[in-house]
Amino acid sequence: MIVGIDLGTTNSLIAYFDDDKAKVIPNKLGEALTPSVVSVDEDGTVYVGKTAKEYGMTNPNRTAAVFKRSMGTGKMFTLGEREFTAEELSSLVIKSLKEDAEVFLGCEVTEAVISVPAYFNDAQRKATKKAGEMAGFVVERIVSEPTAAAIAYGLNNKNADTKFLVFDLGGGTFDVSILELYQNIMEVRAVAGDNFLGGEDFTEILEQMFFKEKDIDQDELDSKTLAHIRKQAELCKLGFEESKTSVFKCKIGEEKYEYEISIDDYEKSCQLLLGKIKKPIERSLKDAHIKLADIEEVILVGGATKLSIVRRFVSRLFGRLPNTSINPDEVVAVGAATQAAMKERNEAVKEIILTDVCPFTLGTDVVVTRSGGYKENGHYLPIIERNTVIPVSRTERLYTASDNQSHILVKILQGESRYARNNVYLGELEVPVPIGPAGKEAIDVTYTYDVNSILEVEVKVISTKISRRVIIKNEDTDMSDEEIEERLASLASLKIHPREQEENKLLLLRGDRMYEEATGDTRHIIEMQMNVFEEALDKQDKARIEEARRDFKEFLDTIEDSII
């Protein structure tokens, strides 16, 4: 069985296809969403998901979140005494999802389709694939999130020549994709987006409104307090789902704060963010050569689209209500699982041909001859234009630029600027050429971009037939085979918290955090209740533990609001 995984910035999900439809698999806590958070405690035990998120409230320096934004960059995250890349942290999240699936399905699961933002570049997509492989999966395909969402909505069953726009605003990334369906072909016409725009930024706006209103200097606050404020900002944001006002409650030291915010004031403060959303929409329409009026349906994807100000913004922009018939949090995982069923040729799934596009222009650095014979370095030659349908292979013939040139260096670049220096460097290839006058020797440069958005570059010398080929690796994450094996062994040696103890550990961590937040008699009562729960755990009587867990959870739920 091939499963579908939505590896999100804020939350991740795993789904499978059964009984003619895709279904989300519950995690060890019985919930659909697993927070994309990883913690390592002082004993070296790893926590993933909601437990890690709770642990991070009191131990922010041992916890990592929002690391998806750093995929493919080589950035290191320090959790206590250990360091991790974003890929390694993501692999721990995926490994947790894999375990949940195997327990739920009662069999080993080794193959997966994993979704990525449409605007993820080559390095980020390869990093995602690598994370899946490190978690023990054979990654069958990397699928763009908007394409997965379109599949989930069953738009392949609609009439031919349907044009629709997928508006995907997740926790940390924003994508807009324009797709067109005709017969059994679903074609991505254009994609655009912003890898640093998402629900986390809307949460930060509330934090900044709070700091300004209460005249608080956030630089003077410690990491625990900032983590507490971030959590309360998130709760305040969720409050707008059911009301036109929401109250920001938090505690700094011994002082309690309350700040009531209206939806209108919040929307005004978010105008810059909403303005950033417009640009990718305009760009994708222009690249697809489609007018706004030609879009027949707008689909909302991603948890951040549940924000009322986002839905109002989309409705005003497109002049219609968007389609939200499937839970925006789950739609990508459902689509990825449906894509997995297509890979398995499941008879219950209507076969559909999916076409995707290259989200960025890919090219190289060339020398341009100006009038009068003056040669100018540093110009950009596009080889594969952005929004070209993939898989694709394009070849450009280039010539030596100077007399007695013995080598040609091909820099592999990604971006839209006409100057090479302004584009993203992906790698390079160098080939020897026979010495001669400028322009005599030639090379063919071939860029090949596959369905998993993996770039392969080949450079071939015409006269000597010498060729060089490379599958691009981002310099920051390039490791030898020995280093890769060493990192895998290190990850395998980590102590993962036992899943059967997850609910108990989560409640204990929540109790610890609330004890730190409380004072006086409330703190004493929390300690007493925690002792009762820990005594029940020590008895190792399953029925008694379940009863004590219910009682302890009810107690914590009752007093949490009174602490803040």
For 215-258, give the DSSP string: T--GGGS-HHHHHHHHHHHHHHHHHTTT-SEEEEEEEETTEEEE
How far is residue 377 from each of residues 112, 383, 397, 402, measured CA to CA in Å?
45, 18, 17, 12
Residue type, 520: G
Spatial distance between the Cα atoms of 522 and 528, rounded to a whole number of angstroms: 10
Structure confidence at residue 330 (pLDDT): 94
Backbone angles phi, psi at 318, to 5 degrees: -100, -10
Degrees to nearest 5, angle at CA 461 with 457 and 465: 105
Residue 158 is predicted with a pLDDT of 57
According to the model, what pLDDT value does residue 475 have? 41
What Cα–Cα distance (Å) separates residue 156 from each residue in 163, 236, 369, 394?
A: 11, 38, 50, 30
Measured CA distances, 457 to 120, 157, 349, 427 (Å): 19, 38, 35, 10
Which pLDDT does position 183 carry in this prediction? 72
Residue that is written with structure tokens 């059994």 in the block: 184
Please choose, from the candidates 111, 164, 426, the residue with its C-alpha nearest in 3D space to the C-alpha of residue 295.
164
Report the chain (564 residues): mean pLDDT per 10 consecutive residues.
Answer: 93 92 94 96 93 93 93 90 94 96 96 90 86 92 87 66 88 89 81 88 96 94 92 93 91 90 96 93 91 89 91 92 90 92 74 78 90 83 91 94 94 90 90 94 94 85 94 52 67 74 92 84 90 89 90 91 68
Q: How far is 369 from 417, CA to CA, in rounded Å? A: 19
Radius of gyration of the chain (CA): 26
- The whole-number pLDDT of residue 347 equals 67
What tokens does 537 get? 């755990």
The burial class, CB within 10 Å (0-12 / 13-18 / 19+), for 388 is middle
Strand partners, 65: 37
Distance CA 268, CA 206 (A): 11
